[in-house]
Amino acid sequence: MSYGRPAPDYNIVVDVDDDEPTLEFQDFASTNAQRGRMNSNGQTAGPAAAAAAAPPYQPPGSAEAPTGGYSVWHTEYWAQFFNVDSRDVVQRSFLAVVPKDSFLDVYNANPDLWGTFWIPTSVIFAMFVTASLSQSIAVALAGQKREYDFSMLSFAVFTIYTYVLVIGAFVYLATKYFGSQPGLMECFSVYGYAMAVWIPISVLCVLPFDWFRWAMVAVGFASSGFFIMRSVNQIVSRSNGKLHKAIIPLLLVAHALLVVIF
């Protein structure tokens, strides 16, 4: 039985505006993590605690330095050491010949193997070409026939690469043992770039004057020797030991033997 008027039919339409802002949920845990971690006493870790948690210093160019997560078996690991242009290599070569500024300070800002490899290679090529040219001139003046000796090229390749790799590795192992925190790449780079001075000297030694050649060799020995000693001393100075008193004479002897051989 019905009382009163019948209930009318209603159609309710809800208009939803797409431009209205929607609800967003914030992750307060991540925000708090960025502002600082809370210790067990409810206190925020200060700068001292953050510094204590920082990783130990690793010099650029060392095997332990951060490499973007790549291992030595990936090409991306080695690609970072070739991220230089010709201007960078020329600048570093100039610092090796005229060490008015610190070579390692410039090198460690962007370590490279480009100059470390190509400078010794260029020295080998320059020495072979200039030596062959000098002998050709002497033979031509004597009216004789010239025969090229490619064993000299093989000897130069073996001697220069062995010197750069073996002595560079020796410096790295010796300084690392005494806590100087060296970089393997920077030790190789010191001996690789130290060869830069021998490129112009090889060209000048084409002149057929023995006294002039010996003078140029003495200049090259002094320039490259000073560069090596200065750079190695900078690596050694990272520790408080007295390693330089033992290693410097050995490096001078090895450097002198290289000059005498050539």
3-class state of residue 205 by DSSP:
coil
Q: Which two tokens stand for residue 150?
A: 């490619």
Per-residue pLDDT of the chain (262 residues; tens, 9 = 90+): 444 444 455 455 445 455 555 545 454 444 444 444 444 444 444 444 444 444 444 555 444 444 556 666 777 777 778 888 889 899 999 999 987 888 988 888 888 889 999 999 999 999 888 888 888 877 777 777 767 777 888 888 999 999 999 999 999 998 888 777 888 888 999 999 999 999 999 999 888 788 998 999 999 999 999 999 999 888 888 776 556 667 888 888 899 898 887 6
* CA dist., res. 56 & res. 53, Å (int): 9
Q: Are 131 and 204 in contact (CB under 8 A)?
A: no
3-class state of residue 44 by DSSP:
strand
Among the listed residues 228, 234, 235, the one whose alpha carbon sits nearest the alpha carbon of residue 251? 228
* 151-182 per-position pLDDT tens digit: 888 888 999 999 999 999 999 998 888 777 88
